[in-house]
Amino acid sequence: MEMTKVNKQRLIFGPILLLIGVVLLIFWKNAPGIIISGLMAGGLASTINGIYSHCKYGVQAERDERTRKISASAATYSWLITLTFVGVLFYLNYFTLLEMTVLKVLSIVMLVMIGTLILFYAYFARKGDVESPNQLVSTLGQDILLRNKR
Amino acid sequence: MKTRIKELRARYDLTQEELAKKVGVRRETILFLEKGKYNPSLKLAYDIAKVLKSKIEEVFIFEEESSSEGQINDS
């Protein structure tokens, strides 16, 4: 069965991580829960991702210039929102309006970053491009318009 | 921006998936290109025009009434 190299790697490393997690769970009695759950979650995510990508795209391109452009823009917007959020948390803490532990703050920041990244990615993917249709005449359009004018 | 991808694709009896595979992109990218919602890179536009045996300006049609006309005339 034909499969992309990336999906093969996902389907090899995913179950290996899962297996390591299970082995540690059985043989290491006092193993820290965060290590076991991290390994299991990573392995499961890699396996599911591999199966999903293979079923959806097969051997076709999974990423192309449009998805790379969307990913880059989504990451930028997500970073900006997270920075604003961290700023708000800083002032809330500075004026003692909100007091949180470091662990809680880090967990919320991670959630905000991942959540906004997924939201922006979904928004741009649905829209088709990161630019609005009115802005679509960019460098390529200008080249063609100039060529037609000559 | 308008494109003639759909028309040219039909002429060469190509599905969106086949065209996507030939130019190395996802099928959705071809779909958004046909709807005029995605602005391709020069390389992708060239590859699509090559597969459809046409010139880039025959495949991608840019209307002069667009907002960037002034910038082009100025330059």
Tens of pLDDT, residue by residue over B31-74, are 999 998 898 999 999 999 999 999 998 999 877 654 444 454 44
The beta-carbon neighbor of A142 closest among B26, B29, B72 is: B72
CB atoms within 10 A of CB A42: 16
B26·A64 Cβ contact <8 A: yes
A142·B64 Cβ contact <8 A: no
Question: Is the pLDDT assigned to residue A135 strictly greater than 80?
Answer: no
A145·B72 Cβ contact <8 A: yes
**Residue B45 sits at the chain A interface (C-beta within 8 Å):** yes
- CA dihedral for A6, A11, A12, A15, sign (positive or negative): positive
**Residue B70 sits at the chain A interface (C-beta within 8 Å):** no
Query: Is the whole model's pTM more than 0.80, yes or no?
Result: no
From CA A112, how far away is CA A89, in angstroms rounded?
12
The answer to whether the beta carbons of residues B36 and B2 sit under 8 Å apart is yes
| Token pair recorded at residue B9 | 């694709």
Domain extents in chain A: 5-57, 65-149
Q: What is the ipTM score, two decimals?
A: 0.79
The DSSP string of B50-75 is: HHTTS-HHHHEE--TTSTTHHHHHH-
What is the number of CB-based contacts under 8 A between chain A and chain B? 91
Range B27-54 burial, b when 16+ CB lie within 10 A, else e: bbbbbbbbebbbbbeeebbbbbbebbeb
Tens of pLDDT, residue by residue over A59-81, are 777 889 999 999 999 999 999 99
The answer to whether the beta carbons of residues B59 and B36 sit under 8 Å apart is no
Chain B: residue whose CA lies nearest to A127:
B37
**Residue A109 sits at the chain B interface (C-beta within 8 Å):** no
The answer to whether the beta carbons of residues B19 and A115 sit under 8 Å apart is no
Q: Is A3 left (phi over 0), alpha (psi -120 to 50) or beta?
A: beta
A137·B60 Cβ contact <8 A: no
